[in-house]
Amino acid sequence: MGAVFTPVFYIFSIVAVASAIIVCGYEWVTVITAMFLIFLVACAAADINKGIVPDMMCVLIAVLALIRFFTSPVTTQSLISCLCGAVVLSVPMLIAALLIKNSFGGGDIKMMAAAGLFLGLDKTIIAGLIAFLIAGFYGVYLLFTKKRGAKEKVKLAPYLALGCAFSELFGLFFLEVLHTFI
């Protein structure tokens, strides 16, 4: 866990809490959202520093998802959304990891399962779209500038955390805008 608590972690944690307050206001949901964002920052910081996503952070995100789920009105639709969110990205990532050597790390898969449980189906899809687009564009940039080779590993947790954070804070707005154009 020493890989988590770096100056970068503290700076981005402050940004996460401020973002939660700005977007959610001063409500109970703000505390849950801020904690989720801090756990995502911890996952990203650990992956950047040590190349791992701590299991404890994934467990904390999953526990936070359960707290959020049981403190809001429980419906069959919300239950299905949370369960589908937990598998919609993590299962394809797991299959890819089993079929293609070094495609995804176990920590990335566990992080997305826990975050998907927290976000629900729609927001998880948005999070994955954003994360993989940004990681892909950055990977192409690194290849073209010859800063990295095609076989080198990319630490994915920071991109996944960014996608999840964006989706949690702005996912519903993003869906509304999307629905106006479709």
Rounded to 10 deg, the angle between the 121-144 and 157-181 helix axes is: 120
Residue written as tokens 């800063």?
Answer: 147
Looking at residue 6, what is its pLDDT?
A: 81
Structure tokens at 34: 């801020």
- Cβ count near 105 (within 10 Å): 19
Please identify every stretch of the chain with a pLDDT value under 50, giving residue numbers as ranges.
Answer: none
Distance of alpha carbon 182 from alpha carbon 178, whole angstroms: 6
Residue written as tokens 């520093």?
Answer: 49
Amino acid identity, residue 16?
Answer: A
Structure tokens at 100: 């293609």
CA-wise closest residue to 41 among 65, 60, 66, 22: 60
Structure tokens at 85: 């969110």
Looking at residue 92, what is its pLDDT?
A: 95
User: 41 near 161, Cβ under 8 Å?
Assistant: yes
The pTM assigned to this predicted structure is: 0.91
Q: Could you tell me where the beta strands, DSSP code E, fall in the chain?
A: none
User: 65 near 114, Cβ under 8 Å?
Assistant: yes
Residues contacting 28, CB < 8 A, separation 6+: 71
Looking at residue 3, what is its pLDDT?
A: 62
Distance of alpha carbon 84 from alpha carbon 122, whole angstroms: 9
Sign, Cα dihedral of 169, 173, 179, 182:
negative
